Amino acid sequence: MILVCTLGQSWQVIPEAYALLAPAKCPLYRNQPHLLQFSWSLFEPALPEPSELWVITTAGTTHGTEDILTWWDALGRPVPLRWYRTTAIDGQAQNEVELIRELILRVVLAAGPDAVLCLSGGRKTMSADMQRAGTVFGCRALLHLLAPDGGKDIVGRLKSEKCITPLPTDLPIQAVIVGEGRRNDLLDIEPAIIPHDYPVSEGDFAPTTPTKEWLWQALAQRERDGGQLLANFHADIAREETHENWRSLYRLPPVTIARLRQRIISDQDRDWLKALPKAELHCHIGGILNLDEQIAVGKAVWETVPDNARPQARRDAQLWLSKPKEPGDKRVEFHQDKQRRLCMSACLLAETEHQILQNELWPPHDRRVALKSHLWGFSAYEHPGSLVGSAILQSKVATATYARLIKQRCKRDGLAYLEVRCSPNKYYQGFLHDFHQALIADDHAPDPIIRLIIIADRRRDDDIPAVVRMALNAFQTYPKFVVGLDMAGDEQRGDPQKLAQYFTAAFEACLRITIHAGEGESADKIWKSAYHLHADRIGHGLTLVENQELAKRFRDRRICLELCPTSNREVVGYHDPDNPGSAAIYPLRKLMDMGVPLTLCTDNPGISQTTLAEEYITASRMISEGLSTKGLSKWEALALIKQGFLHAFLPAAEREALIKQIDQKIFNLIASE
């Protein structure tokens, strides 16, 4: 911290100010403890000792200069002492006033916003200029010192004792904090006002630059043009961005906005991303749990398995563990009896060593890139979730444990809103009721908000009409819980045009619709899903980038894409410097530039061993191509997070209220950094 003082005829102001902030080095106030406590009683954290002392003076104060140098030598010159002096003699003429003002402004600009400024030295005009400099450029504190009788007694004491001994208690001095300064936002709008453009050096100051380049005039002009400058700044941002950010963020200082726009997301931002309240729109219940959470569910279920069923479960588990892993073996084949599969899964999770399960579910020799082309096909992607989902959710105990762990995951990962999707027809009857009750049990906090999307499977097209009817009934029974209908599975199955009659019923009932499409298949598949099945959102939609006209239609109709970077890399295969194996560039940047509504999701965070915060880091890494294409900036990440809330399957009034609430939380987080 730099202490900046002005020097007039009362040179003792300099030791008074320095002693207040550095009592260990200048014991002037040792007998006046109220002053020694002063500097930290009003500030948190306390004002630190100055690392340098800067003195601004005029050519007419040579006597005071000599006195200060004598005092400084007596102290042993504890920190650098720098002098800045104008050629003005007494500062009474207008040109001298302007010269002194220019010097003060430049020195304070150079000292930076952490400086402490003393207003007590020199003429009143110097004090006024110092105060203005602090409020314009920012400062830690504006300090004023008041001494009795103009400080004459102190002058004598300083001369006789050279500050070696403290002042007596009968020489009271009062210190007053006038305030602190915050740098004016207008100064950071390009071209920003920075020290480099208004240099100042020690010694005599007599700038020869034209009057129009003087700093005090530049500040006056900047203030006159302030409103237009801010308007132009925000207009420039609006022209460049394709996705509007949170409204409150545009109130941030321009320098903060610029920093958010320039900072590219990386591993160092993991905690920052985690702290932001986020919305997760594409997350499957069968792949949401990590291994520790899977084990917790398995142990809860295993405790309920009857003793007479355990021997068979152990035999099935041993057979599954010992099954040869030959090429072409899908590895996830289980006994068709749901109860027997439930017991086997519970046994495996409850009784198998953690590392053995880890190696079985995520084989260390298998590279999880482009698994659609893997020897085991898509099942190689699904395999880590093979012991949970429909395998374990045949038990009420599993459902209750699942719900508890999902809520914990939301809070741990910073999810304010989650849409989890599943196929209840694959579980036991009554699952929806039990899952809903478990989610709301003993939960008095408003966060997280968890909603359910029901999935129809293209691979079981005969079941689709019944699944849609079940979804409509569930929507009527749990209108604030069941919010959407999805269709997933192999895109080559289930012609959207033929299935339209079933989805039209959901559309007419105002049940929101999201469709898995464009995950490796052509953009034509995406449009058929959006058009025939009335999709509000598309899961993945990666190949939309191949059809610009269709992308424009998605933008116009506000149809949102749910991108899942890690899952997309694992299933389809995209370039990732940390996971090499594919040359294709992830289309996030191109889709953003097209203005397509989109947000980032996890798909199956347990299977992909990721979190929503991690997906933003992964996406930034996957779209970066060195100098040619930059990664995802913090500003862009915040805009994509907003898209998640904008396209949540909530009633409009509820969604708008949530967005306003999250907007304020995000502003508070960013503004406090």
What DSSP line would sit under 448-498, residue for residue? -EEEEEEEEEGGGGGGHHHHHHHHHHHHHHSTTTEEEEEEES-TTSS-HHH
For position 184, what pLDDT does the model report? 82
Mean pLDDT is lowest, of 109-113, 180-184, 586-590, for 180-184
Asked whether the predicted pLDDT for residue 210 surpasses 50, the reply is no
Domain ranges, ordered by start, for the chain: 2-223, 279-289+388-664
Three-class SS state of 233: helix
For position 333, what pLDDT does the model report? 53
Query: pLDDT higher for 336 or 619?
Result: 619
Q: Which residue carries 């294409």 as its tokens?
A: 629
Helix axes 226-240, 254-262, angle to 10 degrees: 20
Q: What are phi and psi of 421, to 5 degrees?
A: -120, 150
Query: How confident is the model over 63-87, as a mean pLDDT?
Result: 86
Which positions are catalytic? 519
What confidence category does residue 322 fall into, taking pLDDT thresholds of 50, 70 and 90? confident
What confidence category does residue 331 fall into, taking pLDDT thresholds of 50, 70 and 90? very low
For residue 239, count other CB atoms closer than 10 A to its CB: 7
Name the residue type at position 342.
Answer: L
For position 224, what pLDDT does the model report? 83
Q: How far is CA 2 from CA 54, 116, 126, 197, 205, in A?
A: 7, 6, 18, 21, 20
Three-class SS state of 184: coil
For residue 532, count other CB atoms closer than 10 A to its CB: 18
Query: How confident is the model over 136-154, as a mean pLDDT?
Result: 72
Cα-Cα-Cα-Cα dihedral sign, residues 379, 381, 384, 387:
negative
For position 152, what pLDDT does the model report? 54
Q: How far is CA 163 from CA 25, 147, 159, 361, in A?
A: 10, 16, 8, 75
Burial of 143 (C-beta count, 10 Å sphere; 0-12/13-18/19+): buried
User: Does the bond joining 651 to the residue before it have cis omega, within 30 degrees of 0?
Assistant: no
Three-class SS state of 48: coil
Q: List the one residue out of 387, 381, 385, 380 whose CA is nearest residue 316.
A: 387
User: How many angstroms separate the CA atoms of 100 and 106, rounded?
Assistant: 10
Query: pLDDT higher for 245 or 189?
Result: 245
Query: How confident is the model over 631-639, as a mean pLDDT?
Result: 97
Helix axes 612-623, 634-646, angle to 10 degrees: 130
User: How many angstroms separate the CA atoms of 260 and 266, rounded?
Assistant: 13
H runs (alpha helix) in 303-395? 310-322, 338-351, 354-361, 379-382
Query: pLDDT higher for 86 or 554?
Result: 554
User: How many angstroms separate the CA atoms of 570 and 579, rounded?
Assistant: 10
368-395 per-position pLDDT tens digit: 898 888 877 788 898 899 999 999 999 9
Query: How confident is the model over 226-244, as a mean pLDDT?
Result: 83
**Strand-strand pairing, 116-118 and 2-6:** parallel
What confidence category does residue 203 fall into, taking pLDDT thresholds of 50, 70 and 90? confident
Query: pLDDT higher for 73 or 654?
Result: 654
Q: Which residue carries 């009659």 as its tokens?
A: 501
Which H or E run includes 616?
helix 612-623
Query: How confident is the model over 520-526, as a mean pLDDT?
Result: 85
User: How many angstroms separate the CA atoms of 9 and 126, rounded?
Assistant: 12
Asked whether the predicted pLDDT for residue 500 surpasses 80, the reply is yes
The token pair that represents 331 in the structure block: 């590895």
Burial of 194 (C-beta count, 10 Å sphere; 0-12/13-18/19+): exposed
Q: List the one residue out of 606, 569, 576, 588 whose CA is nearest residue 643.
A: 588
8-17 per-position pLDDT tens digit: 877 778 888 8
Cα-Cα-Cα-Cα dihedral sign, residues 38, 43, 49, 52:
negative
Asked whether the predicted pLDDT for residue 168 surpasses 80, the reply is no
| Exposure b/e, 56-77, CB count within 10 A at least 16 = b | bbbebbeebbebbeebbeebee
Query: How confident is the model over 74-88, as a mean pLDDT?
Result: 87
Question: What is the phi-psi region of residue 452: left when phi exceeds 0, alpha when psi lies from -120 to 50, beta otherwise?
Answer: beta
User: How many angstroms separate the CA atoms of 24 and 37, rounded?
Assistant: 13
User: How many angstroms separate the CA atoms of 357 and 348, rounded?
Assistant: 8
For position 160, what pLDDT does the model report? 46
Q: What are phi and psi of 600, to 5 degrees?
A: -100, 140
| Average pLDDT score, the chain | 87
297-312 per-position pLDDT tens digit: 999 999 999 999 999 9
What confidence category does residue 328 fall into, taking pLDDT thresholds of 50, 70 and 90? very low
The token pair that represents 29 in the structure block: 């106030």
Q: Say which residues have a Cβ less than 8 Å from residue 523's Cβ, sequence separation at least 6.
A: 543, 544, 546, 547, 550
For 191-221, give the DSSP string.
SP--GGGS---SEEE---S-GGG-HHHHHHH
The token pair that represents 189 in the structure block: 């709008």
Query: pLDDT higher for 176 or 658?
Result: 658
Q: List the one residue out of 294, 431, 298, 455 whose CA is nearest residue 439.
A: 431
For residue 241, count other CB atoms closer than 10 A to its CB: 15
Query: pLDDT higher for 403 or 29?
Result: 403
Query: How confident is the model over 102-118, as a mean pLDDT?
Result: 91
Q: What are phi and psi of 282, to 5 degrees?
A: -135, 95
Domain spanning 279-289+388-664 has what CATH number? 3.20.20.140
Asked whether the predicted pLDDT for residue 169 surpasses 90, the reply is no
For 8-32, give the DSSP string.
SS-TTHHHHHHHHH-TTT-GGGTT-
Asked whether the predicted pLDDT for residue 40 surpasses 80, the reply is no
Query: pLDDT higher for 441 or 5?
Result: 5
345-373 per-position pLDDT tens digit: 999 999 999 999 999 999 887 888 988 88
User: How many angstroms separate the CA atoms of 621 and 538, rounded?
Assistant: 23
User: How many angstroms separate the CA atoms of 415 and 460, rounded?
Assistant: 32
Asked whether the predicted pLDDT for residue 219 surpasses 80, the reply is yes
What confidence category does residue 162 fall into, taking pLDDT thresholds of 50, 70 and 90? low
Q: Say which residues have a Cβ less than 8 Å from residue 439's Cβ, sequence separation at least 6.
A: 403, 406, 407, 450, 481
Mean pLDDT is lowest, of 19-28, 59-68, 473-482, 640-649, for 59-68
Q: How far is CA 555 from CA 197, 609, 668, in A?
A: 44, 31, 30
User: How many angstroms separate the CA atoms of 330 and 325, rounded?
Assistant: 9
Question: What is the phi-psi region of residue 318: left when phi exceeds 0, alpha when psi lies from -120 to 50, beta otherwise?
Answer: alpha
Query: How confident is the model over 227-249, as a mean pLDDT?
Result: 86
Q: Say which residues have a Cβ less than 8 Å from residue 518's Cβ, sequence separation at least 6.
A: 491, 525, 526, 538, 540, 541, 542, 543, 544
> Hey, which of 139-143, 438-442, 510-514 has the most confident mean pLDDT?
510-514
Query: How confident is the model over 511-520, as a mean pLDDT?
Result: 93
